[in-house]
Chains A and B, each alone.
Chain A
Amino acid sequence: MGKMQQSAKNGILGKIRSFKEFNVLMVTIILIIGISIKSPIFLSATNIRTTLIGLACNGIIAIGMTLALVSGGFDLSVGAIMGLSACLTVVFAGMGLNVWFAAILALIVCIGVGLLTGTLIGRVGLNPFITTLGIQQIARGAVFVLTAGSSLSLPAGADISSFKKLGQSSILGIPIIVVIFIIMAVLGDFLVKKSSAAMKVFYIGSNEKAAILSGINAKKVKQMVYIITATLAAVAGILTSARFGVATSNTGAGSEMTVISAAVIGGASLTGGKGTILGAVVGVIMLSVISNALVLFNVDVNWQSLISGAILILAILFDLLSHKRKYKA
């Protein structure tokens, strides 16, 4: 880690530029400026608000994904686990349980799934790609079985309406979901940069052998990482169920790709050892800004994929060329 990468120039400017997240932040800001010139509505309070609500869940998942990437693995199951936790919350609540209790139960089940993933990857030594793909299918499959391919609604009740507040109300004008996301991101960024537990993940991702030689329990740490990714995905799922009041069989579909992209854009490496929460969060913001712009500019849906793909590549190209930081998988 180490915040400073030999900042050649000193002074405040040099220090700012030496931040790992500087590049992606710059690209995002340029995008935001460009878009808001074309469409002033982009910076309207409503639009910012809805965009933030929309990215909060991916942002929360990105925190865990960054850790997984730092450890040298990744987690393709997060989207499905998000769906599973949303679905379980609704199912348990539908059984008559207090919805808060239902949510905690759903969280526990998902943590259990993370424990399984972590055990398979960390302790047994299975390949993260196949394992998390398998877990993805299992979790999504469970959602299909539970929802029978449709969507389930939260029942009515006093507890339900307080639960829905979690997903639908605001504090000081900021939606609670967004507040939770910001707290988690700030806390996550702080902990990843400062805590010795997170440091172990960096050691393992950088050189697992060296880490083991120094007495770090790599198996346990890796196991923990997947428990964290699952927990955060589950939190995202619970917030989604509170927000929508329903769980669909699609909740969270495709999130994993968005989130991995965001983390990599934010400076994480697929070979481990590198990555910051702040970077990943800015990456999530960048991707959301792009898709928001496509809607605001009323781009034909059939063109959207083409354009967002091109922007994605241009963004990392710009990043590379202007800052000469090498993206290497």
Chain B
Amino acid sequence: MAIEVKNITFSYPNSQVTAVENVSMTIEKGERVAIIGQNGAGKSTTVKIMNNIYKPTKGTVTVDGINTKNKTTAQIAPHVGYVFQNPNDQIFNDDVTKEIDYVLRYWKLSEEEIKRRREEAIDVTGIRPYLEMHPFDIPLPIRKFLTIAVVVAVSPDYVILDEPTAGQDLWGCAQLRTVMDYLQSKGKAVLTISHDMEYVAENFDRIIVMAHKNIIADGKTKEILYRPDILKEAHVKPPLSAQIAQAIGIRTKVLNLKELTAAIS
């Protein structure tokens, strides 16, 4: 049960410039993986190939054994959920519950099933206080949790989060952790693209580093964040606590402030 990506190459339809060159990776069910790297390194393209929005020009992608070559994006959606950066591209109902129910009704699920999934999704994403508001009246960062609720209601085995912490405040980040713990408890895999190194160090145990259109490193978070050469090649800075630890010569591999305080005293 995994997403296998075997040396895929992709170039946009009307341009010879390749966006991604011969990338291979495997995401097991229940894993928590973060893809980091500079803009233009091919992160978004690789992820969009995994949930079949783009079809690779070379190489194959299989989701739980299903080859995505002759499947449409919508057929892969029940297996791989995608939360986009801009929630406004998806919302078209004038009511929160209708928005969450739409896809479930589209797949002709039973009414109780729809109700159960919708209530669970609303509780997990914490948008219950905003149920009566019009989706476009809800402030943008909180509206993003509506699109997360839609994906949670579909409950695919693999969930992709594209820059989830962009524009989020403390409440938002805490709510995001609850969502990720809920997905972890259901045994779902969570894959994210993010520039927020603190969020990545805190929540993900495996990191894939991408630069100039292919993968340059793939390993445990603790190893990758303490390899200055890899991070330099990917133009990525380690989290603040790691930077301080290295600056004052602490040997233990520190990932967050708590570990740093313990290491200092």
A binds B: no
